[in-house]
């Protein structure tokens, strides 16, 4: 029976260890901010952080996540205050349809943990896909969050 620590809270789950983390988060724990996109780790809609690093939860087995700190979009805000990346997303009016945004935000937070003052080239290492094409605003928001 796997145990996951998600957003600081422990969850004992009666699931198979090979279940993708995405489905454990959404269907077992009820955190639906992490989205299903492609199912093959290409689009990034399912991005969460595991021990501070961005991972594609659609292809990450629960067994890989055991004993690690998992952070989802629901775990970013603290005491009702949005994370600096979330605030920058709002200020820069990043989303259009919004479907990919939780994954985009999680990838940006992970990048800023590694590179607090990223260059455009650093931001280009984020491979999450936005079908609406809001990449210019995403870049502006990441730069704004790095200065917050």
Which residues belong to CATH 1.10.150.120 in the chain?
84-147
Q: Residue 79 is encoded by which pair of tokens?
A: 């005491």
How does DSSP assign 70-122, residue by residue?
A: EE-GGGT-BTTBPPHHHHHHHHTT--SS-TTHHHHHHHHHHHHHH-SS--HHH
Check if the beta carbon of residue 48 is closer than 8 Å to that of residue 35: no
- Give pLDDT tens digits for 60-108: 999 999 999 999 999 999 999 999 999 999 999 999 999 999 999 999 9
Domain 84-147, CATH: 1.10.150.120
Q: Region 120-124: what's the mean pLDDT?
A: 98
Which residues belong to CATH 3.10.20.30 in the chain?
3-75
Domain 3-75, CATH: 3.10.20.30
Query: Confidence band (pLDDT; 50, 70, 90) for 1?
Result: confident
Q: Residue 68 is encoded by which pair of tokens?
A: 């690690």
For the question of whether the overall pTM of this predicted structure is more than 0.85, the answer is yes
């Amino acid at each position: 029976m796997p145990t996951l620590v998600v957003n600081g809270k422990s969850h004992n789950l009666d699931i198979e260890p090979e279940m993708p983390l995405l489905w454990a988060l959404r269907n077992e724990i009820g955190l639906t901010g992490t989205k299903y996109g492609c199912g093959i780790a290409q689009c990034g809609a399912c991005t969460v952080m595991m021990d501070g690093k961005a991972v594609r939860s659609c292809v990450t087995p629960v067994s890989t996540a055991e004993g690690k700190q998992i952070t989802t979009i629901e775990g970013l805000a603290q005491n009702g205050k949005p994370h600096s990346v979330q605030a920058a997303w709002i200020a820069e009016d990043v989303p259009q349809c919004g479907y990919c945004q939780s994954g985009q935000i999680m990838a940006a937070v992970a990048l800023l943990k590694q590179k607090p003052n990223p260059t455009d080239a650093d931001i280009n290492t984020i491979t999450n896909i936005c079908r609406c094409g809001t990449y210019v605003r995403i870049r502006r928001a990441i730069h704004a969050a790095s200065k917050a």
